[in-house]
Amino acid sequence: MEIKVLGTGCVKCKKLEKLTENTVNELGLDATIEKIEDIYKIMQFGVMRTPGLVIDGKVVLTGRLPKTNELIEFLTK
């Protein structure tokens, strides 16, 4: 699984990155997590509000932090 956390470095973006890392580890998933901070690369995903979460090339969340159960659902779907 390939996960990208999109964000320019704001508090919510950093929190999403940490939350995603923790959840992946807790679930024991085989995943790579990449943090993308370049605004032009973020815009290529069509994301205009950060933080954003991309799983296997699909944008699943933008503009907010997910609830824990919501993040688990994204990652195990």
Task: Give me the active site residues, please.
Answer: 10, 13
Q: Identify residue 27 by its one-letter amino acid code.
A: L
Per-residue burial over 10-26, b if 16 or more Cβ lie within 10 Å, else e, is: eeebeebbebbeebbee
Q: Is the peptide bond before 51 cis (omega within 30 degrees of 0)?
A: yes
